[in-house]
Amino acid sequence: MADSSTGTESTEVNPEERFLYRGRTRCSPEEEDKLERQHFWKIINAFKYYRTHVEENLKRCERQYLRLPLRHQRLLSGYLDKLAELRRCMECNHQVLRAIVQNCTHMFENMEYDKDEDARRAGPSSTFDMDKLKSTIKQFVRDWSDAGKAERDSCYKPIIEEIQRLFPSEKCDVSQVKVLVPGAGLGRLAWEIAHLGYSCQGNEWSFFMLFSSNFILNRCEKENSLTLYPWIHQFSNNKMSHDQTRGVTFPDVKPHHLPPDSDFSMTAGDFLEVYTDSNTWDCVATCFFIDTAHNVLEYIETIWNILKPGGVWINLGPLLYHFENMANELSIELSYEEIKDVMLKCGFLFEVERESVLTTYTENEHSMLKYLYDCVFFVARKPVTPYSNFPNGKDELQYSKTLDTTM
């Protein structure tokens, strides 16, 4: 488990806590702390602003309908009823989002966010943040619903099968095999690995994902007890009107049903900052992750450093670089050929490689528009007697944080 920057870890755990979110911390300047709080409340605000945001879009639809000639309005006699149904679905989404953020101020072990009353008042949120929130709603489908099973099978199953092949339960004590899942999102891949008995830790940077995974893992006790309507924001490429208002129930499993004495946790913070201890992990499993880097070489360097000699890196995903077209953001976009060449030069040994694994990402199976990713899948090993062309030394640890959640 990740410790704090002082080499200690909190041992005070609420008896009701099931999944403890941990991370590293360091003393930060007052201004940095202020900015951190502002960012926290900005994301809380996005969750709270969701209802107003969707309502504004629905009112725009109403206005445009009423501007039509009466003969056209008569031809669309059910249109206002459709908008009323979208409002009902929106309200259901709002109630779930409200539940998600209800306990967020007390998530972190080492920081409280409930002291700024002004920040709690919801106001307009940016288009970027609202798009991120809508994407997060679709993540519930991918990770925690029956509707997402096919997508999980195409993305997560190959990784899980390799872990079982490399660390079989009949040949080793899987509870002693340490697996790290960076970019864990809503935590399903990490949960599945822990469910098989492995010691697994997920890592995530996004507050959108952290708030939501906290809710799933610690607050959802019954299968398929909640419903979201993830497609109501999509007005294009709908074959049937009811496709837009199709509900998805979650979670499809009971998240707290893990083997006794399971070692499963989530960390909050930047992967590069949180994981600096050398020779720590038996396996690093990355799924749709490496293209989130500003500089993918830093990811390769960090994974090499944190793997134990003989440890493996299992990866599946495309190369849709997240910062490619963002102004004032560093972004190094490499081809897979270049990434592989760097990995080989740095000492990784490729044991499995498939350059065409077809999969989707938060796909709406009823949409008239679908994106298909032609992903790369590989298993690369850090040799037992490793060598590396990476320069010695690391940048100074910046900061991370810990979450403390209760079931």
Q: Is the peptide bond before 251 cis (omega within 30 degrees of 0)?
A: yes
The pLDDT value given to residue 31? 77
Q: What is the pLDDT of residues 111-167, one digit of tens each?
A: 566 655 555 567 899 999 999 999 999 999 999 999 999 999 999 999 999 999 999
pLDDT band at 107 (very low <50, low <70, confident <90, very high): confident
The pLDDT value given to residue 59? 98
The pLDDT value given to residue 104? 84
The pLDDT value given to residue 280? 98
Residue 43 pLDDT more than 90?
yes
Q: Give yes or no for a contact between 359 and 373, defined as CB atoms under 8 angstroms apart.
A: yes
- Measured at the CA of 100, the angle between CA 95 and CA 106, to 5 degrees, comes to 140
The pLDDT value given to residue 25? 45
In a domain, 20, yes or no: no
> Quick count: other Cβ atoms within 10 Å of Cβ 149?
13
The pLDDT value given to residue 211? 96
Q: Which two tokens stand for residue 201?
A: 């830790």
The pLDDT value given to residue 37? 83
43-65: string of b/e by CB count within 10 Å (b at 16+)?
bbbbbbbbbebbeebeeeeeeee
Distance CA 181, CA 204 (A): 9
Q: What is the pLDDT of residues 329-382, one digit of tens each?
A: 999 999 999 999 999 999 999 999 999 999 999 999 999 999 999 999 999 999
In a domain, 389, yes or no: no
Q: What is the 3-state secondary structure (H, E, C) of the chain?
A: CCCCCCCCCCCCCCCCCCCEEECCCCCCCHHHHHHHHHHHHHHHHHHHHHHHHHHHHHHHHHHHHHCCCHHHHHHCCCHHHHHHHHHHHHHHHHHHHHHHHCCHHHCCCCCCCCCCCHHHCCCCCCHHHHHHHHHHHHHHHHHHCHHHHHHHHHHHHHHHHHHHHHCCCCCCCHHHCEEEEECCCCCHHHHHHHHCCCEEEEEECCHHHHHHHHHHHHHCCCCCCEEECCCCCCCCCECCHHHHCCCEEECCCCCCCCCCCCCEEEEECCHHHHCCCCCCEEEEEEECCHHHCCEHHHHHHHHHHHEEEEEEEEEEECCCCCCCCCCCCCCECCCHHHHHHHHHHCCCEEEEEEEEEEECCCCCCCECCCCCEEEEEEEEECCCCCCCCCCCCCCCCCCCECCCCCC
| Residue that is written with structure tokens 């990355």 in the block | 286
In a domain, 153, yes or no: yes
Residue 16 pLDDT more than 50?
no
The letter for the amino acid at 139 is Q
CATH number at residue 352: 3.40.50.150
The pLDDT value given to residue 27? 47
Q: What is the pLDDT of residues 52-99, one digit of tens each?
A: 999 999 999 999 999 999 999 999 999 999 999 999 999 999 999 999
Q: What is the pLDDT of residues 237-281, one digit of tens each?
A: 999 999 999 999 999 999 999 998 899 999 999 999 999 999 999
Q: What is the mean pLDDT of residues 6-22?
A: 41
Residue 369 CB partners (closer than 8 Å, separation 6+): 236, 237
Distance CA 264, CA 189 (A): 12
In a domain, 258, yes or no: yes
The pLDDT value given to residue 1? 34
In 3D, which of 249, 248, 218, 211 has the Cα closest to residue 232? 248
> Quick count: other Cβ atoms within 10 Å of Cβ 394?
13
Q: What is the mean pLDDT of residues 214-233?
A: 96
The pLDDT value given to residue 65? 98
In a domain, 25, yes or no: no
Q: Can you give the residue range of the structural domain that contains 220?
A: 31-382
Q: What is the pLDDT of residues 170-223, one digit of tens each?
A: 999 999 999 999 999 999 999 999 999 999 999 999 999 999 999 999 999 999
Residue 109 pLDDT more than 50?
yes
Number of domains in the chain: 1
pLDDT band at 392 (very low <50, low <70, confident <90, very high): low
Q: Give yes or no for a contact between 284 and 306, defined as CB atoms under 8 angstroms apart.
A: yes
In a domain, 8, yes or no: no
In a domain, 237, yes or no: yes
The pLDDT value given to residue 6? 33
pLDDT band at 385 (very low <50, low <70, confident <90, very high): confident
In a domain, 394, yes or no: no
